[in-house]
């Protein structure tokens, strides 16, 4: 049996019980240290609570504990006999939506909580929208606090139908929903006797079974150059290598590759990987997400920010990037803003040419041509670049299709974006 890794991100509105659910997962999978549990039990007793408040296992900041809300993204690690997990615990408050974007950007599964009493609310729609736009492959909806609605199957079915319909609007085809009580532990790890009508997996059973990872061989090579290595030391006078982390695909010695944006073509003659003792190991092939150094047959002008790609599928080079953005800054994004656009290891001066539309989370509709996008707003923009930029469609290659908009004056990050085919959105609506 393989022991693979699943990265997941949680999302939910305030008081949906997200911290309690994460704490329950840690507790029931025996991933809590004895001294941590002792501290939680002591604090719970001091507060007059009969049972340990498992939310205290996850709300690490003092402000979080005092307010009873999660503020910052916190990463939790736990494992079972089958799989290891990296869990990004993201905030529920609307003002921290940007943190949810950060947490979900590397996740393969989004775990979205819904309070069974309140059903699908605006934050649920927002989280489903962000999940869909980020291209998260799998979505699980945890319908929590089912004990407070009498384990009502009709209520569960109603919530699942609405969540599934909203998810479909954002390209999420499959939603797995689990009725549970994080507080009591029903259907989190152990199956509940209160939901005999439910035939699906417990939450952990689903997490254990969901497919993870992407076969590198199924994707074209993408290798953003981070640094050019020319040690010019004795024994290495002629060494010239291009170091970075493979974003997608596989590279082998003898492969023909194209360097972007120059579009020059050459051949890989060597692949080096550093050992812990400082020496180099020569490889015949390497694959995502390995960090390696490539040596090429021809002396091409290559610098940091260039992209080495599969010659048969090198991708696009453009001076216009269109795509969805989520605003991360208090400073709004407006047309004609001068910014820097960073994609991979390349940064290019740019100007926001147009804000195409803005997503109305309440109605799940797009409003055309708003004057600006403010903090936490989601909308589509078109950006004009001052230089050529290799970039992929985010839906096909997440790592080389993502970008940031940066204030060129002070370097502050304004928005996170997901590139789509140029001008795909011109005049379009969903």
SS3 of 47-74: the string is CCCCCCCHHHHCCCCHHHHHHCCCCCCE
Helix, strand, coil percentages for the chain (3-state, nearest 5): 20, 35, 45
Cβ proximity of 117 and 17 under 8 Å: no
Other C-beta atoms within 10 Å of 314: how many? 21
Q: Is the pLDDT of residue 429 over 60?
A: no
pLDDT at 176: 96
User: What percentage of the chain has pLDDT greater than the value 70?
Assistant: 91
Alpha-carbon distance of 265 to 389, in angstroms, equals: 17
Q: Is the pLDDT of residue 422 over 70?
A: no
Of 377, 395, 419, whose CA–CA distance to 170 is shortest?
395
Q: Is the pLDDT of residue 11 over 80?
A: yes
Of 79, 80, 171, 163, whose CA–CA distance to 125 is shortest?
163
pLDDT at 323: 93
pLDDT digits (tens, 9 = 90+) for 348-394: 999 999 999 998 877 777 888 789 999 888 899 999 999 999 999 99
Q: Which helix (H) or strand (E) holds 165?
A: helix 153-169
* Mean pLDDT computed over every residue of the chain: 87
Q: pLDDT band at 276, cuts 50/70/90?
A: confident
| Over residues 170-189, mean pLDDT | 92
Alpha-carbon distance of 123 to 108, in angstroms, equals: 20
Task: Show the CA angle centred on residue 162, arms to residues 93 and 398, nearest 5°.
Answer: 60
The b-or-e profile of 328-358 (16+ CB within 10 A means b, else e) is bbebbbeeebebbbbbbbbbbebebbbbbbb
Q: Which helix (H) or strand (E) holds 307?
A: strand 307-310
The SS3 call for residue 286 is strand
The SS3 call for residue 229 is strand
- Residues contacting 64, CB < 8 A, separation 6+: 70, 71, 72
- Residues contacting 217, CB < 8 A, separation 6+: 249, 250, 287
Q: pLDDT band at 304, cuts 50/70/90?
A: very high
pLDDT digits (tens, 9 = 90+) for 233-261: 777 778 899 999 999 999 999 999 999 99
Q: Which residue has the higher pLDDT, 142 or 1?
A: 142
pLDDT digits (tens, 9 = 90+) for 120-167: 998 888 888 888 888 888 999 999 999 999 999 999 999 999 999 999
pLDDT at 95: 63
Q: Which residue has the higher pLDDT, 423 or 274?
A: 274
Q: Which helix (H) or strand (E) holds 85?
A: strand 83-89
pLDDT at 383: 96
pLDDT digits (tens, 9 = 90+) for 33-79: 777 778 878 877 887 777 778 777 775 544 544 555 555 567 888 88
């Amino acid at each position: 049996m393989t022991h693979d890794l699943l990265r997941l991100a949680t999302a939910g509105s305030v008081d949906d019980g997200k911290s309690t659910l994460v704490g329950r997962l840690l507790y029931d999978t025996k991933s809590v240290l004895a001294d941590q549990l002792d501290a939680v039990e002591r604090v719970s007793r001091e507060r007059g609570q009969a049972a340990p408040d498992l939310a205290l296992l996850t709300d690490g900041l003092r402000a979080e504990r005092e307010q009873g809300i999660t503020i910052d993204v916190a990463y939790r690690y736990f494992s079972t006999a089958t799989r290891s997990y990296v869990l990004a615990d993201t905030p529920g408050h609307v003002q921290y939506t940007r943190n949810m974007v950060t947490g979900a950007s590397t996740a393969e599964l989004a775990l979205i909580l819904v309070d069974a009493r309140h059903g699908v609310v605006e934050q649920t729609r927002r989280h489903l929208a962000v999940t869909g736009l980020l291209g998260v492959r799998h979505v699980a909806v945890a319908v929590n606090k089912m004990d407070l609605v009498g384990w009502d199957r009709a209520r569960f079915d109603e919530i699942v139908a609405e969540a599934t319909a909203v998810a479909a609007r954002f390209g999420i085809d499959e939603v797995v929903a689990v009725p549970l009580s994080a507080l009591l532990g029903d259907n989190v790890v152990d199956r509940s006797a209160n939901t005999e009508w439910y035939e699906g997996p417990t939450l952990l059973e689903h997490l254990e079974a969901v497919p993870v990872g992407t076969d590198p061989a199924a994707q074209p090579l993408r290798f953003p150059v981070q640094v050019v290595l020319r040690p010019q030391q004795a024994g290495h006078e002629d060494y010239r290598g291009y170091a970075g982390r493979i974003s997608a695909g596989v590279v082998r010695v003898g492969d023909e590759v194209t360097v972007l944006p120059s579009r020059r073509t050459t051949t890989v003659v060597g692949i080096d990987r550093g050992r812990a003792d400082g020496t180099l190991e020569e490889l015949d092939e390497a694959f995502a997400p390995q960090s390696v150094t490539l040596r090429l047959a021809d002396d091409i002008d290559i610098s940091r920010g260039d992209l080495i790609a599969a010659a048969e599928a090198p991708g696009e080079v453009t001076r216009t990037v269109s795509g969805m953005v989520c605003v991360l800054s208090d400073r709004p994004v407006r047309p004609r803003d001068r910014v820097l656009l960073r994609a991979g290891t390349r940064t290019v001066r740019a100007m926001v040419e147009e804000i195409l539309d803005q997503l109305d989370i309440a109605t799940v509709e797009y409003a055309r041509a708003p004057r600006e996008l403010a903090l936490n707003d989601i909308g589509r923009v078109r950006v004009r670049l001052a230089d050529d930029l290799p970039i992929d469609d985010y839906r096909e290659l997440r790592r080389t299709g993502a970008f940031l908009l940066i204030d060129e004056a002070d370097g502050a990050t304004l928005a996170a974006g997901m590139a789509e085919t140029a001008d795909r959105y011109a005049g379009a609506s969903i």
